[in-house]
Chains A and B, each alone.
Chain A
Amino acid sequence: MSAPAIAVKPKRRVWSGDQSARLLTLVFAASVLLVTVLLISQLWQSSGPSRAKFGLHFFAGTNWDPVAGDFGALPFVYGTLLTSVLALLISVPLGVGAAIFLAELAPPKWADACTFLVELLAAVPSVIYGLLGAFTIVPLLRDYVEPFLKSTLGEVPGVGVLFRGPALGFGYLAAGVVLAVMTFPFIISISRESLLEVPRDQREAALALGATRWESTSQVVVPYARLGILGSIFLGLARALGETMAVTMVIGNDPNIHASLLASGYTIAAVIANEFTEAVGKLYQSSLVELGLVLFLITIIINALARLLVMATRGKGTGTAA
């Protein structure tokens, strides 16, 4: 720093008000970093015994036997991925469709009201989705949907494998349906935002060239907002992968891999929720913690990707390239 020619030495104070205010708030802001770092290191340390014993084989093992002390995570990883994919297969078309309607067609006042109602769904506690899932969706699937799927798709060679076995209600399909309901609020609200950010002249140019409303939407507006829509799908996926209560209550809790969607299964989050309190022994506990670590890493990566995608479209919308 170059001193001014006639420098009056400022009164030296150890801490000015601004400095102490900055320091005080800084400490609290930094605590967020601290918590995150502590979280990762704790999960890493507490999963030590399991990582040492099983190594990467943990993810290939299909046997989960607490009595014999053999722990393989594959059935849970499979269940987690399968239920989330099922959920997205249902919620992406529904969610993107609704977002298009709310952004492009509905009068703004109505669209805002509908979006608010959909966003309320995101505030409903997951245990309530579980409650409704277990007492309404499961019986519905068991008595009507699953027998129907078995007698139609189940007879088709090839795909039929997915729809065989007893109709229990509790299983992958029920979890997928409940998760679909839990993910579409995210998809709708964020996709709609990115669609609304598409400049008006894009639409008008397409319409002026003689495109119909749908052609302008599907060939111009949606491709323009594709990163934001993709981001919303990733956010929904992260929520589906990490969802615990609703899935635990409808998945059926069976630590084996089944090809049929109608069969009972298990997910990473559900096995932690059900077994953690009863886990005796270092190895059992640390295996469950390692499952938690895996879930943490998967959701962190997907969330980070989603945020980057959403940020990228925001940048494009306002003209400041991100």
Chain B
Amino acid sequence: MRRRGVRKLVNNLMLAATGVCTLLTVSVLFVILGYLVWNGGKSIDWDFLTKLPLPQGQVGGGMANAIVGSAVMVGLAAVIGLPVGFLGGIYLAEFGNKAFASAVRYMADLLNGVPSIVIGVFAWTVVVAPMHSFSALAGGFALSLMLIPIALRSTEQFLLGVPRSLREGALALGAPQWKMVATVVVPAAMRGILTGMILGVARIAGETAPLLFTALNNQYWPTGLNQPVAALPVMIFTHAMSPFDDWHRQAWAAGLVLLAMVLITNITARWVLSRGTAVQKG
């Protein structure tokens, strides 16, 4: 048996060490935020938001086409991915039989864990290779594959949070199951479901790897869904890896725009959910 003093010392030391771990990990967020605001803040200007990129090495220009391109592809992914995730989530929560629903659930979790670069390779094999062209369509498709499992699981989770009494009330009034789901359960969970979807969209908006060889890149404004298109995260990558100082400056600016978008959506979502009453927190 060790002496009491030693044990107390070990106790205090180890507890202090865990505190230091917490301090270190939490402070990383502020370091990231500080660096991006510092470097991005002095680089961001009106040109960055409204002009096309200039050829390599020239000073000036912006990433307006990449902002539009990102919006197009994220929109496309939302149009494909959100309905699939939403309806699939309703099946899991309301209609699913046990074995099949848990198979779907498990697959969705696995799909969610697939590295984004592999999703890119897959989208390349099924869209880019047959069409013989990099395109916004392929990029949007790749992003939608990442969105589906997120939307599916969050929809299911919020539907399951709806109290049983509401369902029983609707059924007791003689509503068939589909009517109960459509007019009582889904509206009750709508706030949570929408928040989950917005979080999912914010997450895929920052993805780079699935776009590298589906949407590729483009110097100019997007002209059609079957054309290669620029995206903000891809621009950060290509600009940061280039040897030009002015491109580095723009990469920081783009990073700031992207991070601001992600943090604002996440914090707002958290706030909306914490005010939720009928629905459980996610």
- Give me the interface of A with B, judged by CB distance under 8 Å: 16-18, 20-22, 24-33, 35-36, 38-39, 42-43, 45-46, 93-95, 97-98, 100-102, 104-106, 114, 116-118, 120-121, 123-128, 130-132, 134-136, 181, 184-185, 188, 212-215, 218, 238, 241-245, 248-249, 269, 272-273, 276-277, 288-289, 292, 295-296, 299-300, 303-304, 307
Contacts and interface: CB of A to CB of B under 8 A. Distances in A.
A242 B114 contact: yes
Interface stretch (B50-58, B59-67, B122-130, B160-168): B122-130
Nearest to B92: A29
B114 to A, nearest CB: 6
Given A39-B114, A242-B116, A184 B248 contact: no
B113 A303 contact: yes
B180 to A, nearest CB: 10
A28 B100 CA distance: 13
Contacts of A95: 21, 25
A188 B28 CA distance: 14
Nearest to A278: B213
Contact of A118 (B26, B88, B208, B251): B26
Given A273-B209, A292-B118, A296-B115, A97 B17 contact: yes
Given A18-B177, A32-B104, A117 B29 contact: yes
A126 B240 CA distance: 13
Contacts of A244: 115-117, 208-209
Contact of A277 (B107, B216, B248): B216
Given A17-B178, A244-B116, A292 B121 contact: yes
Given A25-B87, A118-B29, A120-B29, A215 B125 contact: no
Given A25-B94, A42-B122, A128 B255 contact: yes
Contacts of A116: 270
B88 A31 contact: yes
B179 interface: yes
Contacts of A249: 237, 240-241
B137 interface: no
Contact of B28 (A36, A121, A126, A130): A121
Given A18-B178, A97-B18, A292-B118, A123 B236 contact: no
B196 to A, nearest CB: 13
Interface string B255-270: 1001100110011001
Given A117-B29, A136-B35, A98 B10 contact: no
Interface in B234-282: 236-237, 240-241, 248, 251-252, 255, 258-259, 262-263, 266-267, 270
A25 B95 CA distance: 8
B22 A97 contact: yes
Contacts of B74: none
B21 A299 contact: no
A105 B122 CA distance: 46
Nearest to B94: A25
B181 A218 contact: no
A116 B196 CA distance: 16
B18 A105 contact: yes
A211 B208 CA distance: 50
B225 interface: no
B114 A101 contact: no
Contacts of A102: 22
A238 B115 CA distance: 8
B101 interface: yes
Please classify how large the interface on chain B is, using the bins under 10, 10 to 19, 20 to 34, 35 or more: 35 or more
Interface string B5-42: 00110110011011111101110110010011001000
A243 B117 CA distance: 8
Contacts of A35: 111, 145, 148
Given A121-B32, A184-B25, A276-B121, 12 more contacts: A17-B179, A28-B88, A29-B88, A29-B101, A31-B88, A39-B122, A97-B22, A105-B15, A124-B259, A125-B259, A134-B241, A272-B121
B105 to A, nearest CB: 9
A21 B124 contact: no
A259 B11 CA distance: 39
Given A32-B148, A242-B117, A24 B111 contact: no
A307 B111 CA distance: 13
Contacts of B177: 18, 21
A20 B91 CA distance: 12
Contact of A128 (B8, B32, B90, B92): B32
A238 B111 CA distance: 13
Contacts of A238: 113
A24 B83 CA distance: 12
Interface string B181-211: 1100000000000000001001101111100
Given A17-B179, A93-B21, A296-B118, A33 B212 contact: no
Contact of B14 (A16, A130, A214): A214
A212 B13 CA distance: 12
B18 A100 contact: yes
B237 A125 contact: no
Contact of B107 (A36, A114, A184): A36
A191 to B, nearest CB: 11
Contacts of A215: 7, 11
Nearest to B7: A212
Given A22-B91, A123-B202, A128-B32, A106 B22 contact: yes
Nearest to B122: A39
Which of A94, A104, A188 is packed against the most chain B CB atoms within 10 Å? Answer: A94
